[in-house]
Homo-oligomer: A and B are copies of this chain.
Amino acid sequence: MTIDDADGTGGTRPGYRDTAQVDMPMAPPRPSAPLPVRTRGGETSREVPPVPTPRPVVEGPIPLPPAESVPLSTVCTVERHLDEILGSVPQVDPIELAVLDAQGLLCAEEVVSQRALPAFDQAALDGYAVRSEDVAGARMSAPVSLAVVGESVAGTGVFHTSIGPGLAFRVTAGAMLPAGADVVVPAVWTDQGTVQVEVLAGPPAGGYVRRAGDDVAPGDPAVQVGTPIGPAQISLLAAVGRERVLVRPRPRIAVLCAGPELVDVGTSPAPGQVVDVNSYALAAAARDAGAEAYRSGILPSDRRRLTEVLESQLLRSDLVLIAGTMSPGGFDMVQEVLAELGQMQFRQVTMHPGPVQGFGRLGRDQVPVLCVPGEPVAALVAFEVFVRPAIRLMLGKRQLFRRTVQAIAGQPLASPLGYRQYLHGTVMRHPDGGYVVEPVGDGTDALLARMARANCLIVIDEDVTDVAAGGLVTVMPLLLGG
């Protein structure tokens, strides 16, 4: 697999998933043993689950709620929810941008050069343009003497000029060669004479000459569809005379949050109120993933205003991202309004944290809308798992997922059976090679201050409930911009 440009990831669209080797079966897993749980105090209990598991999963010592209370269709695996999102995310139409603004984006056209690069035979360095046969026998002990009949400086043409046997033309790096010359003798291999020059050694024919079209011939493809545009591509685009280029644009993403408890950061929260952090954190994460993110803040609590805001964002966005605590089949006002705008589905996804995830395509343009949990740590985990791959797909990237590594767990880890657990952690290189990972905090609640110390997500698969200290786990380093 190629180490890819803008990536540092190892996942490509079809087949590969962030961690799983195979797709999970659709039927919810049925635990055959009590769920192992690490509780706040650190003791391990096999009596209670760490999260309210979706009802059909609950068994054994955990009370089994009425099976019909949550329809089976609202429970699904990480893969299935992700598949549905990636399968529905639309392509954004290519746009033409100035080459410098195209940086980091994928080329959406076949750029064919109309020119030869270099445009003319030129000296690769300062020296003397000569005929190779004249200097072939030059030695320190037997220098060849040539008459200097002219000078060619970079930036000037030397048309209708040629040299014959026994003649030399003084040239600077990048200067056009006179006709007849097929080699440049570096100045340091000569006595640097101005009227007559003593050549002490001769390069082979073609030496230190950049031939017209050596780099790019007219009609050659310069930059191809799907190539990420970095400094080297910008260099080449400029060289073939392109000031603008067609690219896959950054998707415009509106970031909103919902919750009666939320107040703006500038406000002092009253008792029971909480500052909106998700619209900031998710906008930052969306930018880091390559989107043009617009932080639209807290959704209004007035129903009419709420509808207006959502409709307006659907008109001007390629994707709408909403963070809020919602529930499958819930009757929250935001959920009701979303349902009026199109087909929106909320599901229990078998992951921890934050099982409730929503997805739909709403409005006239069927704009994808993703809902992630309102709890800030769960919101950023859901962003990593679902939103970042969707943004990368919209950007046209082949590598949708972050590269993962296997690391040695520095301490025992527990995970609820049937759930894919994402724990924030700190991964370090081991002096003997490989990686070691520790969860931040006690590995249960990843709170904000703890999350800010993490540099990775530890991913524990659905069928694993315990990882012993020294066992291997999958780790997804959270490199910014990666």
Interface centre among A62, A153, A220 (most CB of B within 10 A): A62
Min CB distance A386 to B, Å, is 15
Interface pair B261/A154, CB less than 8 Å apart: yes
A428–B10 alpha-carbon span in the complex (Å): 12
Enumerate chain B residues within 8 angstroms of A227, measured Cβ to Cβ.
452
Given known contacts A207-B48, A376-B239, A454-B232, A155 and B261 CB-to-CB distance under 8 angstroms: yes
On whether A200 and B270 interact (CB within 8 A), knowing A154-B325, A188-B55, A230-B288, the answer reads: no
Task: Check B40 against A206 for contact (C-beta < 8 Å).
Answer: yes
A103 on the B face (CB < 8 A): yes
Residues of B within 8 A of A14 (CB): none
Please report the C-alpha to C-alpha distance between residue A112 and residue B45 in the assembled complex, in whole angstroms.
36
Whether the Cβ atoms of B262 and A448 lie closer than 8 Å is no
With beta carbons under 8 angstroms apart, the residue of B126, B152, B237, B380 that contacts A235 is B380
A201 to B220, CA, bound (A): 72
> Would you call A238 and B454 a contact (CB within 8 A)?
no
A103 touches B270 (CB 8 A): no
A15 within 8 A of B: no
Q: A residues 1-49 with Cβ under 8 Å of B?
A: 1-8, 39-41, 43, 45, 47-48
Residue contact B207 to A125, C-beta cutoff 8 Å: no
Whether the pair B53, A188 counts as a contact (CB closer than 8 A) is yes
CB distance from A153 to the nearest CB of B (A): 7
Q: Which residue of B lies closest to A274 (CB)?
A: B174
User: How many whole Å from A306's CB to the nearest CB in chain B?
Assistant: 15
Residues of B contacting A140 with CB < 8 Å?
A: 61, 63
Query: Which residues of B sit under 8 angstroms from A152, Cβ to Cβ?
Result: 272
- Within 8 Å of chain B (Cβ to Cβ): is A416? no
A451 CB within 8 Å of chain B: yes
> What are the residues of chain B within 8 A of A275 when measuring CB–CB?
238-239, 241
In the complex, chain B residues whose CB is within 8 Å of the CB of A241? 265-266, 268, 275
CB of A333 within 8 Å of the partner chain: no
Residues of B within 8 A of A260 (CB): 153-156
A100 contacts the other chain (CB 8 A): yes
| A-B contact sample (7 more), CB < 8 A, given A8-B482, A173-B325 | A3-B477, A40-B206, A62-B201, A63-B188, A154-B274, A223-B452, A235-B448
8 smallest beta-carbon distances between A and B, as pairs: A155-B261, A157-B271, A155-B260, A63-B200, A235-B281, A215-B447, A481-B481, A52-B186
A-B contact pairs, 27 of them (CB 8 A): A1-B428, A3-B428, A3-B429, A4-B455, A41-B206, A48-B189, A52-B125, A52-B188, A100-B284, A117-B447, A118-B274, A119-B269, A155-B260, A155-B262, A155-B274, A156-B260, A156-B272, A172-B325, A174-B325, A174-B374, A215-B449, A222-B452, A235-B376, A236-B451, A238-B265, A238-B275, A482-B482
Give residues in A with beta carbon < 8 Å to B. 1-8, 39-41, 43, 45, 47-48, 51-53, 55, 58, 61-63, 65, 99-100, 103-104, 117-120, 124-127, 140, 152-159, 172-176, 186-189, 200-201, 203-204, 206-207, 210, 214-216, 220, 222-223, 227-228, 230-239, 241-243, 259-262, 265-266, 268-278, 280-285, 287-288, 295, 325, 327, 374-376, 380, 383, 426-429, 435, 445, 447-452, 454-456, 477-482
